[in-house]
Amino acid sequence: MTIPRVEMKNVRKRFGDNEVIKNINLKVDDNEVVVLIGPSGAGKSTVLRMINGLETTTSGEILIDGDDIAHAGKSINQMREKIGMVFQHFNLFPNMSVLDNITLAPVELGIRNKADAVTQAKQFLEVVGLTDKADAMPASLSGGQKQRVAIARALAMHPEIMLFDEPTSALDPEMVGDVLGVMRRLAKQGMTMVIVTHEMGFAREVADRVVFFADGELLEQGTPTDIFDHPQHPRLQQFLKQVLNV
């Protein structure tokens, strides 16, 4: 079999004396959609950020296609090129237009010339349904539009893995559908994705596997049916009761 896209081996993370990730082992296979769920402070964002090296690891290995990103040194930039990340607060670059947001990295890194990058950026804008916003400045967009631009920006690097950290939590409810729609299509096309979300319906629908975290520990994982219909761990049962009854 092929090696997993992402493999976390005995990963620990400490902030000062506070151990927030406790010996985690997690694999993500090619084309797999993995959804991370868990209460606030469980360490979901930290795990996601460690996968593309935004957060250092205290111990353990994080292999991306077999290479350890936790000890990558300078080659971390090349490794990141194939890992797209979408943030809760979009983090679009406010000093440049939507088009420039999308073309910046491919052009700066010499992957594409400017003309190609622009053509391609327009294609990705079409994918996220924002063809008419190419020349807009980020400040003039709604939250849902911003998040879709952020997805297009990540896609422009042709990533092999996409990480989403609560991409819809900062959005008004009527915007959530558009963003989830884009993600759903990506999943269908076979993109390898790791998603942190509180949208349980969406998780059940797109996930190949759901992983439950609490207090920095991976407590349970399985298919959506396993997790949502037959939860084993008391913490998971309690968590689901809370989020589904709201």
Partner 1 sequence: MKRKWLWSTLVAGFVALMVGFVPQPTQAATESYTIGTDVTFPPFEFANKQNQYVGIDIDLMNAIAKQQGFKVTIKPLGFNAAVQALEAGQIDGVIAGMSITPERQEKFAMSDPYYQSGTVMAVAKDAKIKGLSGLRGKRVAVKTGTASADYANAQKKKYGFSVVTFDDSNNMYQDVMTGNSAACFEDKPVMQYGIASGMKLKIVGKTTMKSDYGIAIKRSESATLLKKVNAGLKALKANGQYDKIVRKYLGNGSEAAQKKKTAGTSETDRSFMGLLKSNWGTLMSGLQQTLWLTILGILCATIVGVLVGLLGVVPNKFAQGAATTFIYIFRGLPMMVLALFIYSGVPSLINEKIPAFVAGIITLTLNEGAYTAAFVKGGIAAVNPGQMEAARSLGLPWGKAMRRVILPQGIKIMVPSFINQFIITLKDTSILSVLGLLELTQTGKIIIARNMEGFKIWSMIALIYLIIITLLTWLSNWVQKRVNAA
Ligand X SMILES: Nc1ncnc2c1ncn2[C@@H]1O[C@H](COP(=O)(O)OP(=O)(O)OP(=O)(O)O)[C@@H](O)[C@H]1O
Least CB distance to partner 1 at residue 222 (A): 29
Residue 43 binding target from ligand X, partner 1, Mg ion, none, CB below 5 to 8 Å by type: ligand X
56 binds partner 1 (CB under 8 A): no
71 binds partner 1 (CB under 8 A): no
Least CB distance to partner 1 at residue 45 (A): 11
Applying CB under 6 A, among 41, 66, 181, 201 the residue interacting with ligand X is 41
Least CB distance to partner 1 at residue 164 (A): 12
Applying CB under 8 A, among 24, 50, 70, 83 the residue interacting with partner 1 is 83
Applying CB under 6 A, among 6, 8, 46, 202 the residue interacting with ligand X is 46
Residues contacting residue 161 through CB under 8 Å, at least 6 positions apart: 5, 6, 28, 51, 64, 82, 83, 84, 192, 193, 194
72 binds partner 1 (CB under 8 A): no
**Residue spans of beta strands (DSSP E) within 74-225:** 83-86, 161-165, 192-196, 209-214, 217-222
* CA distance to 95, 145, 219, per residue, from 204 (Å): 38, 25, 18
- Residue 28 vs 102, nearer CB to ligand X: 28
| Residue span binding ligand X (CB under 6 A) among the ranges 41-49, 92-100, 118-126, 179-187 | 41-49
Residue 93 binding target from Mg ion, partner 1, ligand X, none, CB below 5 to 8 Å by type: partner 1
Strand-pairing partners, residue 220, are 212
Token digits of residue 21: 């990730």
Q: How many residues does the chain have?
A: 246
Q: Which residue has the tokens 């042709």?
A: 158
Residue 85 binding target from ligand X, Mg ion, partner 1, none, CB below 5 to 8 Å by type: partner 1
Element (H, E) at 44: helix 44-51
d(CA 101, CA 103): 6
Residues at the interface with ligand X (CB under 6 A): 15, 20, 38, 40-46
